[in-house]
Each structure stands twice: as structure tokens, then as C-alpha cells.
Structure 1
């Protein structure tokens, strides 16, 4: 009996691990389409963890940000940008300024990601409580504290806490990361930019928590920095994508 129980527990653990590997692999493919890498996902995951842990004791967040919730949030992070797979390369990889029409298409990545999860749940027969956070962050990570974000124009407490946390982590990484067509800004400059958007783009409490632990963000960025091989991969992917668009 004990051996059967142990084997059953092992099978469940292996199944959970396999599911996480598949989610991470699919998320990596989505990031590749944006000429990004799995390192970006790892960085955002770790930013979210340290930020959520810092916010945990705060009276406004203590009831929600339990260890189990934080773990579920971190496991969901790889899915937050999955909707980008539905955006054409000509828009997703365009190095110049997007037209208003292109901006409108780009913004649909939030609803595309959210709706893909909802459709999958319906197809398979029921909604999963375990995917609640994933749906929150895919749809709402581009919302802003002052209501000027998208897709729903939510403001302040209307925005799920999970999405508020991911929003700051995502923007920080976008600021400090080198792209094929532009260099990232130094850590200190990224901190200044985020602080300047306290109460407009970002939840003030979350910005305050970030300011207290910003050096941990810098350490994570260094630990999971893109390598020369990563940058070469970005360059080659963008070159191939541009060539395909030119042929069309």
C-alpha cells in the first residue's frame, strides 16, 4: 500500500511538472514572436515573487497575498502575454511607431489571451478555479491605475491585484532589456520612470513596495540576463520575420 501511495504521489508530481514545462514552453514560443526569450519570463516571474512577498504583510493585501496565492500567481506568470501569438509580425516586430490602426490591433493581445483560456475551459467542459489568476493577468496587465489603460479602462481597485503586480514587473523588464532596435535603460533610470508613474500607471502601494526592494529587481535582472546567444536569436528571428513580410 505504501509503495502504491508513493507511486501515485510521484505520478501526480510528474504530471504537474510536465504541465508546467508545457506552459513554459508555449510561453517561450509566444515571447520568441516578440523577439524575446525565456529569460524574460524567468525575470518577470522572479520580480513578481519578490514584489508579492514584500506586499504580503501590507494591511490592504494580507488577506489575498497568502503563500499559496503567491505561488499560484508565479506559476501563472508565463501565460500573461500569450495573446501576442495572435498579433501579426508586421505589427508585433515593427521597429518604428505604430499607426493608430496598428495600435488597436496590438492591444487585442490582452483579450486574445484571456478569451483563449475561456474558450478552452468551455471546450473541455468547465472553468478551472486554478486559472482565475491566469485570466486576470492575461486580460488586465495593461490596465492603469488612473483608468487610461486597456482593454476595459479599469481603474484603481477595479484592476485585479495580480494584474497590478505583473504590470509593474513587465514594465520594469521592458525598460531595462535590450531589444534589437533599442537599448534598455539603466536600472536607476527605470526606477525613476516607475516612480514618476506612481498613482497614474501603477498602484501607489505597489510602487512603494518596489522602491523598497528595487535592488532585488536589479539582482534578478543580472542573474537572468539575456546572453549574447539570446540577442543573436532575437536578431535572427526579426530578420527572418521582416524578410517574410517583405515577400508577402
Structure 2
């Protein structure tokens, strides 16, 4: 039995809200390990919301992207990169090019996140629609439309739609965001890169939806931009992590 089913309606709603707060809080800790902040999660979540709204106009996707599905996807977004908690700082925060061995370790963040959710779900003995989508996006957000992604080399519609949407949102934010070791690219350059990736990295429909609404992406990026305090937090975290690695 679902424990929430025994709660009064108001208490059940509060429990659901509290669980989403916990998920978001844990996700921000995972992002901190990558010298990112909660603003990154909010940006990606809002990019996904925009893409879903535009893709609902596509006959091929309207049946899947029901309001209920979109709500579950948006609730799952904070978890998509949670596997990064299992990647050592010396790799996760390395400013230069990774070695082949380091790249292989970095790529395990997809399976680490997916497997953690699968184990937890099995332990608790209940399948959840929310976790189904969360498992899809943690495992598959680095897959590419042309099959050159990882961890499984899926291609085309083999990649869950949820992951195809998150993939573009994630890449766009990575392109425009300032890191401690690099500046983000201008909005127009990010649009150019995603256009070039249409049919290669990205699902053509998802890329086309983005191109219709990319100015709304710009507005989201500005609304949830990292503050000076956010950047200082990134700098301090990276400095401390590098110091710890040096001591080891």
C-alpha cells in the first residue's frame, strides 16, 4: 500500500511537496560537486518545460507529452545528473582535457545515477512513474541521436523522449554558463552549435522546437543567471577540492 494513501488529502499533498524539496536539495548537493548551483537546475527545468510545450504541437509527440507526463518529467529533472556524486573530484573538476581512462570514469555517472535509483526502488518494493522517467534521464541524457553517445550507444527513437529533451537543455546550459575555468559562449553561438547538432547530437524535432523558442531560453537564462555569490561559491569549492587532491 502507498503510505500516502492513508494520509488526509492535505497531509498527502504536503508529503509530496516535502519529497520534492528533498530531491531538489540532494540534487543541489550533486551539482555543487561539479561547481554548479541550484540556478543550473532551475534553468534546465525551465528549458525542459519550454521544449515540452513546443513539442506538444508536434503530432508525433503530443500523445506522449500529456500534462501528467510533463509534470513527472519536470519533477525528475533535478535527478538527471545525480550520478556525478560518484565521480572523484580530480576528474569531475579537472579544468583540462581528460585522459581516456578519466573519460571512461566520467561516463559512468550515467549508470551510477540510474543504478542507484533502481536499487532504491527495488529495496522499497514499489515501482514509481516518477522514478521510471528519472531512470531514463539519468541513464540516457548523454546518448546522441546518431548513436555516438553513451553509455549504450542508443540512436534515434531508441533513446527515450524524456532523455532527448533533457539532452538539449543540458547542453544549452553547459554552453552558455560560466565555469571557474571557462566563460560561457554567447546565446547566438549556442544556437548555432545546437543547429549544427540537429540530427547528429540532437533529435531533429527537439532541435526544431528549440529553434522556434530559443529567445525564451535566453529569457530563462537571464532570469536564473548565476549571481556573484554563486560564482564565488564555485571558486571556493573548486579551490578546496583541488587543495584536498594535492594533499592526497
TM over 0.5: yes
Report the equivalent of 1:184.
Answer: 184
Gaps of 5+ in 2: 1-6
- Report if aligned partners of 1:118, 1:127 keep a CA contact under 8 Å in 2: no
Query: Does 1:83 find its partner at 2:83?
Result: yes
Report the equivalent of 1:237.
Answer: 237
Q: Report the alpha carbon displacement of residue 13 of structure 1 after superposing the two structures with TM.
A: 1.0
Superposition RMSD on alpha carbons, in Å?
0.8
Task: Write the distance in 2 (CA, Å) between the matches of 1:165 and 1:45.
Answer: 11
Report the equivalent of 1:204.
Answer: 204
Q: TM-score, normalised by structure 2?
A: 0.96
Gaps of 5+ in 1: 1-6
Report the equivalent of 1:10.
Answer: 10
Task: Write the distance in 1 (CA, Å) between the matches of 2:60 and 2:195.
Answer: 20
Task: Write the distance in 2 (CA, Å) between the matches of 1:214 and 1:195.
Answer: 11
- Report if aligned partners of 2:83, 2:114 keep a CA contact under 8 Å in 1: yes
Q: Report the alpha carbon displacement of residue 127 of structure 1 after superposing the two structures with TM.
A: 2.4
Report the equivalent of 2:168.
Answer: 168
- Report if aligned partners of 2:143, 2:155 keep a CA contact under 8 Å in 1: yes
For residues 63-142 of structure 1, what are the structure 2 equivalents within 5 Å?
63-142=63-142
Report the equivalent of 1:152.
Answer: 152
Q: Report the alpha carbon displacement of residue 57 of structure 1 after superposing the two structures with TM.
A: 2.0
Q: TM-score, normalised by structure 1?
A: 0.96
- Report if aligned partners of 2:145, 2:199 keep a CA contact under 8 Å in 1: yes
* SS state at 2:231 partner: helix
Report the equivalent of 2:32.
Answer: 32
Task: Write the distance in 1 (CA, Å) between the matches of 2:210 and 2:130.
Answer: 27
Task: Write the distance in 1 (CA, Å) between the matches of 2:98 and 2:180.
Answer: 17
4+ residue runs over 3 A deviation: none
Task: Write the distance in 1 (CA, Å) between the matches of 2:71 and 2:136.
Answer: 15
Question: In terms of mean alpha carbon deviation, does 12-21 or 126-135 score higher?
Answer: 126-135
* SS state at 1:61 partner: helix
Task: Write the distance in 2 (CA, Å) between the matches of 1:61 and 1:213.
Answer: 17
Task: Write the distance in 2 (CA, Å) between the matches of 1:50 and 1:200.
Answer: 22
Task: Write the distance in 1 (CA, Å) between the matches of 2:126 and 2:73.
Answer: 21
Question: In terms of mean alpha carbon deviation, does 54-63 or 153-162 score higher?
Answer: 54-63
Deviations 1:91-133 (A, max 9, x none): 0000000000000000000000000000001111232233110
Question: In terms of mean alpha carbon deviation, does 127-136 or 108-117 score higher?
Answer: 127-136
Report the equivalent of 1:4.
Answer: none
Q: Report the alpha carbon displacement of residue 212 of structure 1 after superposing the two structures with TM.
A: 0.4
Deviations 1:50-104 (A, max 9, x none): 1011001211101100111111100100000000000000000000000000000
